[in-house]
């Protein structure tokens, strides 16, 4: 397994770390390499919790910025190793993780090595298990064991944002809506009650649902309510007595957890609804002085983040946070995932200039 060369370009680092498979649950090899490299840097104080690595400058600056990125990816589907491609004459790096979010991680690793005396103290975080259930997330674990490491005046998540600043994020709720019936032989269907047929009103409500566009502190968040999985059936000759529809609700950061859950129960009133996962969003946080300095320094026009990201974890701790990283979020998890080399370079320049005060 190759060592990580933190003197390489951010683009070359992206290629290297993308070629090291790190699907959620299999991050140890990459985590070991990151830990070995940053532990050798004398200007950083390094802490490891499982496959999450934290490296901090301790310059005694008046302000501290946390900069985080996850090292796991969704499953590989024939898109590793990476390869270089061109689209309309523009160079891209193609492959799993290039967008979500190893391009951002590469920039963070390079700057962590080179910014020996930044104008603010920096807490660098590289963490595991972001792409799976929230209770497995490395930052969830770290918040329990070392909440002091989250102390900061401002936070940046290197999630893909096309090199623009995306403030806050939508919340994310998953629910199971169940319909019940009575089993019988399919030759005598009238004896039973078909739970799959009873799911038709649930699907109708979803088809008729019109999601909101919600202004929050100057940014407009788009909500969404969608069926993402449906299951039911016992055997080819049995009328099913249970059908389950998994519904995903993306809700604006103006709603809290209780409001999001109540909305789901209102939409599916009369049905059996179980909430199985719920993570509140994060308000934009762009009114914080450091956030305003950062936006001005990188010359970006703030936009809303429609997906859920770990900015919400920082926001819940009172730390304003934004998303800023290379890559088109529409290509996250896509089999044609690819990142423009120019965006990697631009994000590195923007962060370097702001953090160094140059």
pLDDT value at residue 193: 97
Summarize pLDDT for 41-72 with one digit per residue, the tens: 999 999 999 999 999 999 999 999 999 999 99
Torsions phi, psi for 111 (to 5 deg):
-70, -35
Mean pLDDT, the chain, whole residue set:
95
Backbone phi and psi for residue 204, each to the nearest 5 degrees, phi listed first? -65, -40
Residue among 293, 273, 100 at smallest CA distance from 173: 273
Asked whether 346 and 104 are in contact (CB, 8 A), the reply is no
Mean pLDDT of 336-341: 98
Q: Is the dihedral of CA 10, 16, 21, 22 positive or negative?
A: negative
Q: Which two tokens stand for residue 149?
A: 């490491």
Residues annotated catalytic, as ranges: 72, 130
pLDDT of amino acid 27: 98
Please, which pLDDT band fits residue 164 given cuts at 50, 70 and 90? very high
Task: State both tokens at 283.
Answer: 């308000």
Task: Give the ranges where the chain is alpha helix by DSSP (H).
Answer: 10-18, 28-39, 103-114, 138-145, 200-208, 257-267, 289-298, 311-316, 341-356
> Does residue 160 carry a pLDDT above 60?
yes
- Rounded Cα distance, 291 and 321, in Å: 8
Q: pLDDT tier at 285 (50, 70, 90 boundaries)? A: confident
Residue 104 to residue 62: CA distance in whole angstroms: 26
Please state, for a pLDDT cut of 70, what percent of the chain lies above it: 99
pLDDT given at position 299: 84
Cα(322)–Cα(248) distance, integer angstroms = 23
CB atoms within 10 A of CB 91: 12
């Amino acid at each position: 397994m190759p060592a990580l060369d933190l003197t390489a370009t951010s683009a070359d680092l992206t290629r290297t770390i993308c070629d090291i498979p790190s699907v959620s649950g299999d991050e140890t090899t990459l985590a070991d390499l990151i830990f070995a490299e940053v532990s050798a840097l004398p200007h950083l104080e390094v802490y490891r919790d499982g496959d999450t690595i934290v490296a901090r400058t301790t310059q005694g600056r008046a302000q501290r910025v946390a900069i985080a990125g996850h090292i796991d990816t969704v499953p590989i589907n024939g898109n590793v190793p990476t390869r270089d491609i061109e689209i309309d004459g523009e160079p891209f790096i193609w492959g799993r993780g290039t967008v979500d979010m190893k391009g951002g991680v590469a920039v963070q690793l390079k700057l962590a090595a080179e910014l020996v005396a930044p104008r603010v103290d920096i807490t660098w975080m590289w963490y595991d298990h972001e792409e799976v259930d929230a209770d497995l997330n490395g930052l969830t674990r770290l918040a329990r064991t070392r909440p002091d490491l989250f102390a900061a005046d401002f936070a940046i998540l290197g999630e893909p944002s096309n090199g623009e600043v995306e403030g806050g994020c939508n919340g994310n709720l998953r629910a199971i809506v169940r319909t019940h019936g009575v089993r019988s032989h399919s030759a005598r269907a009238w004896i039973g009650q078909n739970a799959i047929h009873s799911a038709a009103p649930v699907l109708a409500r979803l088809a008729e649902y019109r999601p909101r566009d919600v202004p929050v502190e100057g940014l407009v968040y788009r909500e969404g309510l969608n069926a993402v999985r449906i299951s039911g059936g016992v055997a080819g000759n049995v009328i099913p007595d249970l059908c389950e529809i998994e519904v995903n609700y993306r809700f604006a950061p103006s709603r809290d957890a209780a409001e999001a859950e109540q909305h789901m129960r209102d939409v599916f009133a009369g049905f059996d609804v179980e909430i199985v996962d719920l993570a509140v969003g994060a308000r934009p946080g762009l009114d914080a002085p450091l956030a305003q300095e950062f936006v001005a320094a990188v010359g970006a026009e703030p936009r809303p983040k429609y997906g859920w990201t770990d900015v919400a974890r920082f926001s819940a701790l009172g730390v304003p946070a934004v998303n800023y990283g290379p890559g088109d979020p529409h290509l996250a998890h896509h089999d044609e995932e690819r990142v423009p080399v120019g965006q990697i370079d631009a994000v590195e320049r923007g962060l370097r200039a702001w953090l160094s005060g140059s």
